[in-house]
A and B are shown apart, each in its own frame.
Chain A
Amino acid sequence: MATEHPHDRLAHVSDGSAALRVSPPVIAPGHTFESVTDKISGIVLTKRTPIGWFFGFAIAFAFLMLLNLTIGHLLMTGIGIWGNNVPVGWAFDIINFVWWIGIGHAGTLISAILLLFRQQWRTSINRFAEAMTLFAVACAAMFPLLHTGRPWLAAYWLFPYPNTMGLWPQFRSPLIWDVFAVSTYFTVSLLFWFTGLVPDMATLRDRAQSKAARVVFGVLSLGWRGSAKHWQRYEMAYLLLAGISTPLVLSVHSVVSFDFAISVLPGWHATIFPPYFVAGAIYSGFAMVMTLAVPLRKFYHLEDFITMRHIHNMTKVMLVTGMIVAYGYANEAFFAWYSANPYEGYMMMNRMTGPYAVFYWSLIAINAAMIQLFWFRRVRDNVALLFVLSLFVNVGMWLERFIIIVTSLHRDFLPSSWDMYAPTRWDFAMFTGTIGLFLSLFFLFIRLLPALAMFELRTIVPQAKVQAGHHG
């Protein structure tokens, strides 16, 4: 076991040889099937829950209770408790929806697209990134559902099912496309995640000491026994799911952007929206993976598996996608001027100099300027700094959605209908409440399920290679 190695420093030393530019390994040297399996399954099977876990979970759970309170108040009173008003009919509900959905993109990107590109470094971060996706999408789905005010009626507004009123949803509306995109995304991500978990459930079943754990993991493992015939189909299914998920993950945020782009509102009606939204989603998703990975590797001593290689690569992905997003901002400004359309021009001037200008410039400062730090190796080597910067990226992407939604709506074509928007305390309660829900689920996940994919980690240890020339 090489847990005590100062890997970060090792990585730094090997990075320092500028001529060779040796990347840190995707798994620390010295690991075997046993060490990988025991380390990851030990986190779940131990009887001792770390005290820090209780501490973190308690805080997250308190915010989850705040969410319950807010939803209760919302259902009793109505969405008037929010700050939404007449020009700004969509505010925190859609900002937070888009923010969460965007965060949810990294999981499937890591598990699907990086699998197709044979990026081995996906192996130790895919499991918890997929879990993060599911939890983020669950948080996202709350906002449009609760924005209807009466979610139990939303069933026939959103889903096509034969009802006694003879009503059908309007399939020409991007909002219905959204329902299909998000629910498909959630379903496929769940199938992918569960499929990946099954062999690990079998490991936990075989290693659990308590009868209850053996039964629970036994049921969840579906009787998996690692048969060669099963592995063959399993690998094929995994590859197919990855291939299917790749266009899916690109489609979801494109469809989310159609919610805006299909309208005629200046600031929304732009053809750049789909790629710009997808890049922003991957950017914010990787930022959230970084936000979760840094404490996770620190507190559970997973530096051997989530190595500096992962940290570097995630930072580079953030840099690339962040630059695409920054290009999107430049493109919006350029077209506002080049179109010579007075409404487009005013929208841009209003963003830059209007009442919400401070938010606009903050997001430019984060998403266009601050990310330039990621060019520097010294920054990429500084894990604590990257954690802080990833939090800023999360904030920056939230501000982006605030700017896109609120500044476009609050001053549209007719000055007589202009108004200002300010969120209420219930808006903030609901938003922080979903963060509580997200973190509560994540805390439960790392305690109850293997946070890293054991069977996939086993495939990258040196032992896993079948020696050449075995043909006797």
Chain B
Amino acid sequence: MAHVAPTATIYGLMAEFETPTGLVEAAEQARLAGYRKLDAYSPIPIDELNEALALRRTRLPMLVLAGGILGGLAGYGLEYWSQAIAYPLNIGGRPLHSWPHFIPVTFETTVLGAALSAFVGMWALNGLPQPYHPVFNVPEFARASRDRFFLVIETADPRFDRHGTEQFLKGLHPVGVHEVAP
């Protein structure tokens, strides 16, 4: 186990925990021990993990703001162009650019732009859909969507050491430590 060669053939090491508290503590310990290429997996969102893993705030809100503004401008622009330029009609003597009438649709396209960018942006930033990921090679990982909590330290981490990291993970009181095939 102590020889170096096999490290290249695995994706990383996975520790399995029974409780969210166990995972949060382990993630924090791993951060403090200097590991940087690690990820935690849980069947529920755990706010404390953001801090434990020192995750940066997501850029998603700015994306959604931009999408909303773009949607609103597109909606209003379409209305102005189609009603005042492309297809001018006199409706009850109202001005061609009768802006109060254009507000409801502008509102709806703003909402649509923001919602689409929240949806597309979130999946894109997450890199999903992703047909394959090494963590699924661990049979125990099937419980990550039910009742178990996992911490994975990747071999790509500069501090990763096949034996040392395994000992470190075992010291965090997991239910088990598994090798993750690439």
In Å, the complex CA distance between A237 and B49 comes to 17
Interface residues of A in 345-397 (CB under 8 A from B): none
User: What is the CA–CA distance of A173 and B127 in the complex, to the nearest angstrom?
Assistant: 42
B48 at the interface (CB under 8 A from A): yes
CA distance A241 to B67 in the complex (A): 12
Q: Are A463 and B20 in contact (CB under 8 A)?
A: yes
Tell me whether A227 and B39 are in contact in the complex, defined as CB-CB below 8 angstroms, given that A37-B147, A233-B60, A472-B28 are known contacts. yes
Q: Is the CB of B128 within 8 A of A222?
A: yes
A166 to B87, CA, bound (A): 8
Q: Which chain A residue has the least Cβ–Cβ distance from B124?
A: A233
Binary CB contact string for chain A from 31 to 63 against chain B (1 if under 8 A, 0 otherwise): 011100110000000000000000000000000
A406 to B20, CA, bound (A): 59
Contact with A along B66-90 (1 / 0, CB 8 A): 0010000001001100110011010
Does B3 count as interface, using CB distance less than 8 angstroms?
A: no
Instruction: Flag if A225 contacts B107 (CB, 8 Å).
Output: no
Which chain A residues numbered 435 to 472 have a C-beta less than 8 Å away from chain B?
455, 458-459, 463-467, 470-472
Q: Is the CB of A232 within 8 A of B50?
A: yes
**Are the CB atoms of B91 and A472 closer together than 8 Å?**
no
Q: Which residue of A lies closest to B64 (CB)?
A: A240
Query: Contacts A203-B146, A244-B111: A191 and B119 contacting too (C-beta < 8 A)?
Result: yes
The size bracket of the interface on A is 35 or more
Taking a contact as CB atoms under 8 Å apart, the answer to whether A233 and B126 are in contact is yes
Once the chains are docked, how many angstroms separate the CA of A180 from the CA of B42?
A: 39
| Cβ–Cβ < 8 Å partners of B109 in chain A | 180, 184
Q: Is there contact, CB below 8 Å, between A251 and B108? A: yes
A195 to B128, CA, bound (A): 12
- The listed residue with most A CB atoms (<10 A of its CB), out of B25, B82, B128, is B128
B40 touches A227 (CB 8 A): yes
For residue A147, CB closer than 8 A to chain B, the reply is no
A22–B15 Cα distance when bound, in Å, is 42
Chain B, Cβ-Cβ closest to A460: B44
Residues B115 and A245 in contact, CB atoms below 8 Å apart? yes
Closest residue of chain B to A188 (Cβ to Cβ) is: B115
Give how many A-B residue pairs fall within 8 Å (CB-CB): 208
Q: At the interface, yes or no: B169 with Cβ under 8 Å from chain A?
A: no
Q: Which of A177, A202, A226, A458 contacts B104 (CB 8 A)?
A: A177
CA–CA, A136 and B137, complex, Å: 41
Q: Say yes or no: is B114 at the interface (Cβ < 8 Å to chain A).
A: yes
**CB–CB A227/B41 < 8 A:** yes
Residues of A participating in the B interface, judged by any CB pair closer than 8 Å: 32-34, 37-38, 160, 166-172, 174, 176-177, 180-181, 184, 187-188, 191-192, 195, 199, 202-203, 205-207, 219, 222-237, 240-241, 244-245, 247-248, 251, 255, 258, 455, 458-459, 463-467, 470-472
Q: Which residues of B contact A169 (CB under 8 A)?
A: 82
Residues of B within 8 A of A231 (CB): 42, 45-46, 49
* Contact residues of B between 82 and 106, Cβ < 8 Å to A: 82-83, 86-87, 89, 91, 94, 98, 101-102, 104-105
Which chain B positions have C-beta within 8 A of A470?
A: 21, 24-25, 28, 48
Contact with A along B114-128 (1 / 0, CB 8 A): 111011011101101
Report how far A274 CA is from B130 CA in the complex, Å: 44
Bound form: Cα–Cα A463–B98 in Å? 58
Give Cα distance in the complex from A228 to B130, angstroms.
16
| Residues of chain B contacted by A33 (CB below 8 angstroms) | 43-44, 146-147
Contact check, A248 vs B111: say whether CB atoms are below 8 A apart.
yes
Tell whether, in the assembled complex, residue B122 and residue A459 are in contact, meaning their CB atoms are under 8 Å apart: no
Residues of chain A contacted by B144 (CB below 8 angstroms):
206, 225-226
Our pick among B40, B64, B83, B105 for the contact of A228 (Cβ within 8 Å) is B40
B53 in complex: contacting residue of A34, A203, A228, A472, CB < 8 Å: A228
Report how far A229 CA is from B118 CA in the complex, Å. Answer: 16
B142 at the interface (CB under 8 A from A): yes
- Determine the distance from Cα of A244 to Cα of B133 in the docked complex, in whole angstroms: 32
User: In the complex, are the beta carbons of A171 and B82 less than 8 A apart?
Assistant: yes
The 11 listed contacts between A and B (C-beta, < 8 Å) are A170-B83, A180-B75, A225-B133, A225-B135, A225-B136, A232-B58, A236-B60, A240-B60, A244-B68, A244-B118, A455-B43
Q: Given A166-B86, A228-B50, A470-B21, check contact A191 B91 (CB 8 Å).
A: no
Q: A168 contacts B41, CB within 8 Å?
A: no
Return the contact of A191 from the options B89, B105, B115, B125 (Cβ within 8 A). Answer: B115
Of A38, A168, A237, A463, most buried by chain B (CB within 10 Å of CB) is A237
Bound: A199/B42 CA distance, A: 10
In the assembly, what is the distance between CA of A237 and CA of B131, in Å?
Answer: 22
Q: Please, which residues of chain B bring their CB within 8 A of the CB of A167?
A: 87
- Contact residues of B between 139 and 155, Cβ < 8 Å to A: 141-147
CA distance A251 to B108 in the complex (A): 8
Given contacts A206-B145, A223-B131, A467-B19, 17 further A-B contacts (CB under 8 A): A160-B78, A160-B82, A181-B104, A188-B112, A205-B145, A222-B129, A225-B136, A226-B145, A227-B39, A228-B27, A231-B46, A236-B122, A237-B121, A240-B60, A244-B118, A459-B45, A471-B28
Q: Taking the complex as formed, is B55 at the interface, i.e. its CB lies under 8 A from any CB of chain A?
A: yes
9 closest Cβ contacts across the A-B interface? Answer: A237-B122, A33-B147, A222-B129, A168-B82, A223-B130, A177-B104, A231-B45, A228-B40, A203-B145
Known A195-B119, A207-B142, A248-B111: A177·B105 in contact at CB below 8 Å: yes
Q: Which of A168, A464, A466 contacts B86 (CB 8 A)?
A: A168
Q: Which residues of A contact B98 (CB under 8 A)?
A: 172
Which residues between 2 and 52 of chain B lie within 8 Å of chain A, taking CB atoms? 19-21, 24-25, 27-29, 39-50
